């Protein structure tokens, strides 16, 4: 059960990492298509977005792991109490 859940979480995080460059290049390619009516260039830029999304997500997955990467991004070091003194501002 927990392995299925962890695999599902890793897949969701991988898709989120893939979507970052894919959406950026997708917006650029749709602007080129609708503004300049250049279908070939829009498809090329869209494919570059797909490839860069896959490369980016796989690089992060292999180097850090997707859940560890998002965990580092979302952590709040302000809440960690390194000094146990009572000099808090609150």
**Strand runs labelled E in the chain:** none
**Helix/strand/coil for 2:** helix
Q: What is the pTM of this model?
A: 0.80
For the chain, percent of residues with pLDDT exceeding 70? 88
Q: How many other CB atoms sit within 10 Å of the CB of residue 51?
A: 13
Q: How many other CB atoms sit within 10 Å of the CB of residue 52?
A: 16
Q: What are the tens digits of pLDDT across the range 7-40?
A: 999 999 999 999 999 999 999 999 999 999 999 9
Query: Of 25, 22, 26, whose CA–CA distance to 55 is shortest?
Result: 22
Under 8 Å between Cβ of 77 and 34: no
Q: Output the pLDDT for position 81.
A: 67
């Amino acid at each position: 059960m927990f392995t299925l859940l962890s695999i599902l979480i890793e897949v969701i995080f991988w898709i989120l990492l893939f979507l970052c460059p894919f959406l950026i290049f997708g917006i650029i390619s749709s602007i080129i298509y609708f503004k300049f009516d250049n279908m070939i260039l829009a498809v090329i830029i869209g494919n570059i977005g797909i490839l860069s999304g896959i490369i980016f997500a796989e690089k992060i997955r292999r180097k850090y792991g997707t859940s560890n990467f998002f965990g580092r991004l979302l952590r709040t070091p302000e809440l960690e109490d390194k000094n146990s003194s009572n000099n808090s501002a609150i």
